[in-house]
Structure 1
Amino acid sequence: MRALILVMDSVGIGAAPDAAAYGDDGADTIGHIADACAGGDADNDVRQGPLHLPHLVELGLGEAHRLATGRQLTGLAYRGEVRPQYGCASELSKGKDTPSGHWEIAGVPVRFNWGYFPRTEPCFPPGLIDAFVQQAGLPGVLGNRHASGTDIIEELGEAHLQSGKPICYTSADSVFQIAAHEETFGLERLYEVCAVARGLVDHLNIGRVIARPFTGASSRNFKRTSHRRDFAVPPPEPTILDIAKAEHREIVSIGKIDDIFAHRGTGLNKRGDGNDALFDCMLEGWDHLADGGLLFANFVDFDSVYGHRRDVAGYAAALEAFDARVPELMERLKSGDLLVITADHGCDPTWRGSDHTREQVPVLVSGAPRGSPIGKRRGFADIGATVARHLDLPPLAHGSPF
């Protein structure tokens, strides 16, 4: 009896009930990708035909989207019987950021307001930057505004190489992001300055300081690497990870899960460069996970590589590549194992801007006893509550098992 929570980062399935308050009424990550593929609108000459996700659709992805939006999508319709249980969930936490979504999945909704930086230039308070430069021993900073990470590196990367000044920027999330060249600035040096920044933004209630290392010699070939690190505040209450640890259960975390939870209760962490490598890590961790154990995995490429970059065709191809590997996981499920596939927010690649979108998420379950339909869930914490019950852990403070 084991459990696996698999987060397809940003794979939303339609605007949340409160999406209008976030400027996201009408956003639909999976729906708009499917629409673009069916209509030939994806910006890729190689892209032909409808979105093809047979294994995720068999697990209930298309039906979860229909439940959330009322639309039956080309490429997501399933003619057979959907085998497992499926549903959709709307977030209770304030915001549409990564920590809030993951913490709520793990049983801790974020009821407080995060701190954010204004859409001005400069966006960071002068006192913050002055203290950061002084305490980190820097010659200054570049950027100091809202920006797409890839765009600002392309724009300011060469100036960074010449000056030694890190590139600091933010987004609609509660983040202070620092980009620097992995070789000339140094990866460990980047982590050190991020740790300095973490201490300086705590009083502003900023959720994450993110190290964004990159390589390359010029704007023509700058590329972000897989050595990103998130310096996050810890969850305000015990999550399912904390409870599982207290019960001496084996825990394996995949990808950036350990960063998201500030390395609290995340057990053995495995990382890989890209979704395929992360899938390999997940299978390896799952193969060796003890009875009663919990594996928590995040697949970030959907969000960081395709969603934020508004790459519809790339997102579609990534979904199809991921779907093709789902059978490898399904064949490893044993009697008594529970699999929950979900997401933490949306990042509609057809939407304006480059930020996350406030969306419902799929809840695709395999291994649970057949019971009442999952239906529409108010809050992601029902996922954590269900996993806790399945693993015979003490109940979480939030959420209702389905």
Structure 2
Amino acid sequence: MSRAFIIVLDSLGVGGAPDAGRYGDSGSDTLGHIAQRCADGDADRSGLRHGALHVPNLCSLGLGECCRVATGMMAPGLETSAWRQGHAGAAAEVSTGKDSQSGHWEIAGSPVDFEWGYFPRTEPCFPNTLIEALCERGSFDGVLGNRHASGTQIIAELGDEHLRTGWPICYTSADSVFQIAAHEQHFGLERLYRTCEVARELLDEMCVGRVIARPFVTTGKGYQRTSNRRDYGVPPPFPTLLSRARDIDREVVSVGKIGDLFCHTATGRELKGKDNDSVFDQAVAAMRHLGEGGLMFVNLVDFDTLYGHRRDVPGYAAALETFDSRLPEFMQQLDDGDLVIITGDHGCDPTWPGSDHTRECVPVLAFGPNLEIEGESRRSLGRRASFADMGATVARHLRLPRGGHGQSF
């Protein structure tokens, strides 16, 4: 049994899902397109990046096989000839939507079988009744934005007006989300959080997945978002892998934004970090003390927020290489019998038009010291029908009660 670890590289898709066309994402391929741009020398026209994507540790665990299973093609620099250990494949999502909340819930064995509430691509895009109620309860006379937008772009565009009027900047995306940006000093961080709490209450009946506080500050170059982001979600509708572990008194450790995504339901000890490196540091430190039968769930969000949404191919590539270079630190702390699954929760192809997520399959890398499947130390997992197969596998490994979704591999 020993322990289990799930590490989510937020937005690392490996090719369009079978239903990608329904979402306008046929042909999207986050990892494949990044690898291709790097191999072509077209990842960064400024000339600051050179050479193919270099992730030897992930390749040795079968990352190239994940790409092959998802798309039928090999991504440049990720050939399966480097695959030495571990079990590799890809997984498609059955949940509706292509957001972090749905992806993480399905990984934990709770697919979303209902439709989230979304906002139209009109301007304004939010119902008048919602904005009026938010203004009245938040004690401001209006809001700025009120449309679909990139967070960094709308803050740059409306930051000055926000300081002048004191009105929060409200915007959304293709996801089921209502985002509120405000200056930490001029508007107030605690006031921003209280405003988001009001919005969460108002949006419950509309089945909107998340309200996100997006605080920012003034810098010498304009405005910059801070690490004080806070998500206000709704609890998962079914018992999750986390709650099944909690219910039999197993230790649960959540690192990164896992607590927010699960609405702090059965998320155990929650550890935060301001960026990928600090989250990774927290995970490595905590795993040294995680006992037998314990579960750790980690999210590394920078891939998505800093590079995917901002369509930054060289930044995404560099972040993958940094994670790969640090992966041995994690692996050295593993005990015999530990299970690790590295995966994604959706795609966010930085070569794709717009700034939204993309509907893609995600990689599934399962490994651990002396971990065999049917007597084999290396095996293709194929394309799994649901992210929930990962949760089912962890549940079987930790001898937790079975959930209602997913097939263990």
Distance 1:251 1:15 in 2: 32
The aligned counterpart of 1:340 is 341
Distance 1:282 1:342 in 2: 16
State the superposition RMSD in angstroms: 1.0
Q: How much has 1:369 moved relative to structure 2?
A: 2.3
User: TM-score, normalization: structure 1?
Assistant: 0.98
Q: How much has 1:187 moved relative to structure 2?
A: 1.2
Does residue 381 of structure 2 align to residue 374 of structure 1? yes
* Contact 2:14–2:361 under 8 Å retained in 1: yes
Q: How much has 1:121 moved relative to structure 2?
A: 0.2
Structure 2 unaligned segments of length 5 or more: list them.
none
* Contact 2:62–2:82 under 8 Å retained in 1: no
The aligned counterpart of 1:120 is 122
* Contact 2:92–2:360 under 8 Å retained in 1: yes
The aligned counterpart of 1:294 is 295
Q: Which moved more, 1:208-217 or 1:106-115?
A: 208-217
Alignment of 1:7-18 (within 5 A): 7-18=8-19
Deviations 1:349-393 (A, max 9, x none): 000000000000000001242236421100000100100110111
* Contact 2:7–2:297 under 8 Å retained in 1: yes
> Secondary structure of the residue that 1:216 maps to in structure 2?
strand
Deviations 1:93-123 (A, max 9, x none): 0010110000000000101000000000000
Does residue 53 of structure 2 align to residue 51 of structure 1? yes
Q: Which moved more, 1:304-313 or 1:279-288?
A: 279-288
Q: How much has 1:81 moved relative to structure 2?
A: 4.3
The aligned counterpart of 1:357 is 358
Does residue 256 of structure 2 align to residue 264 of structure 1? no
Q: Which amino acid aligns with 1:354?
A: S
The 1:383–1:281 alpha-carbon spacing in structure 2 relative to 1, beyond 3 Å, is same
Does residue 232 of structure 2 align to residue 231 of structure 1? yes
Q: Point out 4+ residue stretches in structure 1 off by more than 3 angstroms.
A: none
Distance 2:81 2:237 in 1: 44
Alignment of 1:3-402 (within 5 A): 3-43=4-44, 44-216=46-218, 220-367=221-368, 368-371=371-374, 373-402=380-409
* Contact 2:59–2:82 under 8 Å retained in 1: no
Q: Which amino acid aligns with 1:154?
A: A
Distance 1:314 1:75 in 2: 17
Q: How much has 1:273 moved relative to structure 2?
A: 1.1
Distance 1:98 1:105 in 2: 10
Q: How much has 1:139 moved relative to structure 2?
A: 2.5
Q: How much has 1:80 moved relative to structure 2?
A: 4.1
> Secondary structure of the residue that 1:132 maps to in structure 2?
helix
Q: How much has 1:239 moved relative to structure 2?
A: 0.4
Distance 2:240 2:372 in 1: 24
Distance 2:82 2:93 in 1: 30
Distance 1:168 1:309 in 2: 19
Distance 1:230 1:324 in 2: 30
Deviations 1:254-273 (A, max 9, x none): 11100000000001111111
Deviations 1:266-322 (A, max 9, x none): 011111111111100111111111111100000000000000000001111111111
Q: Which amino acid aligns with 2:156?
A: E
Q: Which amino acid aligns with 1:252?
A: V
Distance 2:219 2:71 in 1: 46
Distance 1:198 1:80 in 2: 47
Structure 1 unaligned segments of length 5 or more: list them.
none
Deviations 1:112-148 (A, max 9, x none): 0000000000000000000010011123111000000
The 1:247–1:152 alpha-carbon spacing in structure 2 relative to 1, beyond 3 Å, is same
The 1:80–1:31 alpha-carbon spacing in structure 2 relative to 1, beyond 3 Å, is closer
User: TM-score, normalization: structure 2?
Assistant: 0.96
Distance 1:24 1:80 in 2: 30
Distance 1:369 1:240 in 2: 22
Distance 1:126 1:89 in 2: 40
The 1:223–1:395 alpha-carbon spacing in structure 2 relative to 1, beyond 3 Å, is same
Distance 1:189 1:94 in 2: 33
